[in-house]
Amino acid sequence: MKNPAEPLYPDDEIAQPQHNGRGALSNASSRFDDERKIRTNDGWDIDDELPPLKTTLTRDATRTILARNTSPDIPFDRSINPYRGCEHGCIYCFARPTHAYLGLSPGLDFETKILFKPEAAKLLTAELAAPKYRCDIVAMGTNTDPYQPVERELKVTRSILKVLSDFNNPVGIVTKGHLITRDIDILADMARRNLAEVFLSITTLDKDLARDMEPRASAPHRRLDAIKRLADAGVPVGVMTAPMIPGLNDHEMEAILEAAAKAGATRAGFTVLRLPLEIKDLFDEWLRANRPDRAERVLSLVRQMRGGALYQAEFGTRMRGEGPIAQLIAARFQAGVKRLGLNRIRYRLDTQRFAVPESARTALVDARRDARQMRLF
């Protein structure tokens, strides 16, 4: 019988190797798993030759595409996520814990095992054409990035935009991907009908910090270029300085706002670092490995914004924090926005243009007829 005083895990457990181009340093089991996988030393004094950690793609057989929410601190009630998991690998990403629901790790699995929705456009057409649907702004980029690298080949996001444009349904997008400029043809056309607004998320202008913290997201100067190209095309564009991490990147807030405004951004927003569930450990691990000289100070400042903890999940405070540190960041943001003339205009996207195109009506009627015929058999 095992002695309860003995350690739960073997004493030969060793750290996971750091993979180039990946954010997380480990791949801990899902919080729903009964077992914990660890890496141990086999006793041989030989360096392991690890193969490159490649991205794998899996078809997501979801039967719906519009996700609904009732969160009081989120300004939209519906969103679309073309992908589950995100190859950008941002270490702070609050969506990481969602991979646990798939039996996967919020660590390296989240950024290497991506699920995509090949039927997204077809599903969206059916949902928008349904008699009970009522038009409102569809948000994209609220969970995982719709312009992560795999979008270049899969084009799921582009297919969704085409459907939204056909139905005159407005869309708001948040992304770190320069790839959004590929779809300027659709977005500019929608913007002329007051149906599109885009925010580029920029956390830092320091390319070294960005490479470590967001390894496969577009470099900061590329995100600024995306702002300029979208603005030049007439697409309303803003910047999200998110997340602000005290002691790590918050000192750059004013510089980010200024660079974005110079590139053509007219709106801005911010959030502070959120560390729900597994992200606390992943971020702590990353911070101590990549910025060991700042680790204790950063974590201390985060706790000062979170009532002594690393995270508070309450609506209203989870995005902004509380206490003097959070108040100072908010005050600096407001001062920067005022000085640069940002947020003077609020684009109210048009929900009155919505109309089901005739092609979609026909497809819906055909689908219902086919369903009735199948029931006969």
In a domain, 116, yes or no: yes
In a domain, 189, yes or no: yes
Over residues 253-280, the mean pLDDT reads 96
In a domain, 366, yes or no: no
Q: How many residues does the chain have?
A: 377
Number of domains in the chain: 1
Average pLDDT, the chain: 89
Q: What share of the chain is helix, strand, coil (3-state, %, to 5)?
A: 40, 10, 50
In a domain, 28, yes or no: no
User: What CATH number corresponds to the domain at position 323?
Assistant: 3.80.30.30
In a domain, 297, yes or no: yes
Q: Are 112 and 84 in contact (CB under 8 A)?
A: no
In a domain, 140, yes or no: yes
Q: What was the pLDDT predicted at 302?
A: 96
In a domain, 325, yes or no: yes
Model confidence at 370: pLDDT above 90:
no
Q: Which residues contact 78 (CB under 8 A, 6 or more apart)?
A: 66, 67, 68, 69, 136, 137, 138, 139
Over residues 184-205, the mean pLDDT reads 98
Model confidence at 43: pLDDT above 50:
yes
In a domain, 132, yes or no: yes
Model confidence at 250: pLDDT above 70:
yes
Angle at CA of residue 134, ends 132 and 139, nearest 5°: 125
97-138: pLDDT as tens digits: 999 989 999 999 999 999 999 999 999 999 999 999 999 999
Amino acid at 68: R
* Lowest mean pLDDT segment, chosen from 11-25, 64-78, 157-171, 314-328: 11-25
Nearest to 77 by CA among 134, 139, 141: 139
298-318: pLDDT as tens digits: 999 999 999 998 988 888 788
Structure-token pair, residue 21? 């181009």
Q: For residue 188, what are the domain limits? A: 56-340
Q: What was the pLDDT predicted at 11?
A: 54
